[in-house]
Amino acid sequence: MRELSYAEAIREALRQEMQRDERVFIIGEDVGVYGGAFGVTLGLVEEFGEERVIDTPISELGIAGAITGAALTGMRPVGEIMFMDFTTLAMEQLVNQAAKIRFMFGGKAKVPFVLRTPAGSGTGAAAQHSQSLENWFVHVPGLKVVMPSTPYDAKGLLIASIRDDNPVIFIEHKLLYKVKGPVPEEPYTIPLGTAEVKREGRDLTIIATSIMVQRSLEAAQQLAEEGIEVEVIDPRTLKPLDKEPLIRSVMKTGRVLIVHEACKTGGYGGELAAVIAESEAFDYLDAPIIRLAGRDMPISYNRTLEYHTVPQVENIVQAARDLARGRM
């Protein structure tokens, strides 16, 4: 199968959905002629024109309001907020309007939009351009939250998100844009709310999200050389969450390490830990549930400090090794 980068897979999903459905359009800052801050929408304005690839003023609240209103009138907008940090400026429309309209109108109105936004650290972009704020949106009823970790998942989940009748927050890690992997040429969907076992194992389970899936797989490869077989699971969509594969895996291995980039306090790992603790998997645990997450501090501009603020492969290896060998 041919390989595409994560960014190319997203671009192909956008192109194929725009070709399939004239209601789909793209709107955001620099998404047109410039091709997006990370080049994801390159070439789309030339193919579809400025009426369907719309450059906006610098107003994240305006982008969120525009996609909410357009979705209400029957369109299928895909908005882009250049950095996830700036979703903070759009929270009123996203949280108080888009997430609640379908409920407040008794299902007579729907808001089928996708809001794409790059998140995460690793680019030296400092504290205001490097955050992972996914759990803010997970907390809001009415929003779906998607975090793909591979090019294949990015394409399939984005197409499914565009076709979904609910507002979807689609979070793309900046460091994944250049990662390559097999992607079918034809359109396909991955249903929202389906987790995937990325690697089979018997000794412990790692549940990881976004870039941490890639790092966990690398850590699992290193640990296999020591005789420790790690199972790696990617929820893929944080909300709705596919709980059963996580629970089954923990029942099999008896140990679980949860890895994410966002700050540990209030992070998604706490929700995953609660899911395990409240399930039948709890009685199968041979060790405490362990969370490995970002430090509770803003991301530093200094690259060495930035590196040590969020989990890296060596941190995952050490935490998994200690957990597997009963040192936790």
DSSP string, 117-148: EEE-SSSS--TTS----HHHHHTSTT-EEE--
For 218-233, how does the pLDDT look when each residue is reduced to its tens digit (9 = 90+)?
999 999 999 999 999 9
Bridge-based pairing state of the strands 3-5 and 237-239:
unpaired
**pLDDT at residue number 56:** 98
Q: How far apart, in whole angstroms, are the C-alpha atoms of residue 128 and residue 86?
A: 8
Q: What is the mean pLDDT of residues 100-109?
A: 96
For 202-220, how does the pLDDT look when each residue is reduced to its tens digit (9 = 90+)?
999 999 999 999 999 999 9
Residue 287 DSSP SS3: coil
Report the catalytic residues: 129
**pLDDT at residue number 64:** 98
Q: Read off the amino acid at residue 132.
A: S
**pLDDT at residue number 326:** 84
Give the residue from 236, 239, 235 showing the smallest Cα distance to 205.
235
Q: Partners of 196 in the beta sheet?
A: 234
Question: How high does pLDDT run on average in the chain?
Answer: 97
List the structure tokens of 313.
């492969």
Domain(s) labelled CATH 3.40.50.920 in the chain stretch across 196-324
Which letter does DSSP use for residue 175 in this model?
G
pTM higher than 0.95 for the full model?
Answer: yes
- What fold does the segment set 3-182 form as a domain? Rossmann fold (3.40.50)
Task: Give the number of other CB atoms < 10 A from CB of residue 315.
Answer: 15
CATH number for region 196-324: 3.40.50.920
**pLDDT at residue number 16:** 98
Q: What is the mean pLDDT of residues 91-106?
A: 97
For 182-203, how does the pLDDT look when each residue is reduced to its tens digit (9 = 90+)?
999 999 999 999 999 999 999 9
Tell me if 179 sits within 8 A of 213, measured CB to CB: no
List the structure tokens of 266.
């209030």
Q: What is the mean pLDDT of residues 234-247?
A: 98
Domain(s) labelled CATH 3.40.50.970 in the chain stretch across 3-182
The distance from CA 209 to its chain's CA centroid, rounded to whole angstroms, is 7
| Predicted confidence band of residue 1 (pLDDT cuts 50, 70, 90) | confident
Q: How far apart, in whole angstroms, are the C-alpha atoms of residue 53 and residue 244?
A: 39
